[in-house]
Amino acid sequence: MNSILERLENPGFPLAEIRDDFSYLKLPGDPIIYFDNAATTQRPEPVLKSVVNFYRSENGNPLRGAHRLGNLATEAMFESRKTVANFINAKEKEIIFTKNASESLNLISYVWALNNLKPKDQILITRMEHHSNCVNWQFVAEKTGAELIYIDINDHDYTLDMADYEAKLSDKTKIVAFTAASNVLGCIPDSKKIISMAKSVNAITVVDAAQFIPHAKVDVKDLDCDFLVFSGHKMLAPFGIGVLYGKQELLNEMPPFLYGGEMIEYVDDYSSSFTGLPYKYEAGTQDVGGMVGLAAAIKYIEKIGMNNIAAYEHALTSYAYEQMKQLDFVDIYHAKQNNTAPVLAFNVKNAHPHDVASILDYYGVAVRAGHHCAQPLHRRLGLNSTNRASFAFYNTKEEVDLFIDALKNVLNIMHLD
């Protein structure tokens, strides 16, 4: 605990200055303790200013106009793609901009999976998946006749059951799709090992990094994954901007996902040819403002330092976990491993999560209530729903202490003691 407290006292970055960048902390009325970061993060002033500046002084349609504003918008798109590519160590043409991680996963499902899977092929996903990396594979299985198989979790520590993965992996496995960090249990699977094992049977690997990439460094070349997806809004960027990374050779082989302007090379009356990467998958006018915001968010995170963020958030989550463990009226569902994502799913005994969240909100604490778009996982745990507190680098130990006090008030208000 001493090392945890030391990290919270000395986070490795100017926490007070960082918090000053977040305007939600300055709203009139009582302060908000925002512990719903796994759903979406708050946006710092430098990100907001970058988006406003784009629309004020660089607003043109990219890749089309030959005028100054069109050129500025095109340059903003180019620079944003370069920033994202460098952030995950990819080629610029391997970065496809989408609306969010869900759309990125749908693109893979529609364009690669529907065109390559056949009856008796197998798709492996984990029991921890967000619906975005589950429902799409149900659809693919239904349309192709492939079999959808779930990799289980370990009951004793809420981690991924790698023995179960090894047992279910076979020559029939064509896709292994998995979360890099559970949005409920906080489990961080061994991505490199999962990918390496998948490659031993020539399966395509799809990594949902939406809950991982805001908190730790990602290197797609080191991972050697085939596809990786994430959403901007979970890492300080605006809503409506997401990323699909795909290996160049795979993207080149795949047909377009959407059809329309800018992704074409030549259009005849009854046939068309299509341009190359990455524009082949970016039909129509793109959300350049969102791209600019995502690039600004990446620069903001990198200025703080991914290692600093990871260490501080780990300390904050560990501290909260230790404090919650002392509350005998709280059940916690959190992976028991050295490194976890900064989320804590829990229930107050004999209380509905929505009631708990409403009371916490009365005390100024924002947490999530529900199944967190992970119904198969909750069903596996024997639960209908849970509360979830999720942390970011702009949260503090003092906020955790107030959260713990608010939890005690839940007990008193609902007369559960």
Give the Å distances, CA to CA, from 303 to 76, 90, 144, 181, 199: 20, 20, 46, 23, 35
Measured CA to CA, the distance from residue 260 to residue 284 in angstroms comes to 6
Number of neighbours of residue 2 by Cβ within 10 angstroms: 6
Q: C-alpha angle 243/247/248, rounded to 5°?
A: 105
Is position 134 annotated as part of the catalytic site?
A: no
What region does 361 belong to: left with phi over 0, alpha with psi -120 to 50, or beta?
alpha
Phi, psi of 84 (to 5 degrees): -65, -45
The residues pairing with 123 across neighbouring beta strands, listed in sequence order, are: 148, 175
Q: What SS3 class is residue 381?
A: helix
Q: b vs e for 366-397, b when ≥16 Cβ sit within 10 Å of the residue's Cβ?
A: bbbbbbbbbebbbeebebebbbbbbbbbbbbb
Catalytic member of 134, 187, 225, 373: 373
Closest alpha carbon to 310 in 289, 340, 333: 340
Measured CA to CA, the distance from residue 94 to residue 213 in angstroms comes to 17
DSSP characters over 2-63? HHHHHHHH--SS-HHHHHTT-GGGG-SSSPPEE-BTTT-----HHHHHHHHHHHHHS-S-TT
Number of neighbours of residue 354 by Cβ within 10 angstroms: 12
Yes or no: say if 77 and 288 are a contact pair by the CB < 8 Å rule: yes
Number of neighbours of residue 330 by Cβ within 10 angstroms: 22
* 83-86 long-range Cβ contacts below 8 angstroms, 24+ apart: 83/294, 83/295, 83/298, 83/299, 84/243, 84/294, 84/295, 84/298
Burial of 363 by CB count in 10 Å (0-12 exposed, 13-18 middle, 19+ buried)?
middle
Indicate the DSSP class of residue 160: B
Measured CA to CA, the distance from residue 16 to residue 373 in angstroms comes to 33
Catalytic residue ranges? 373
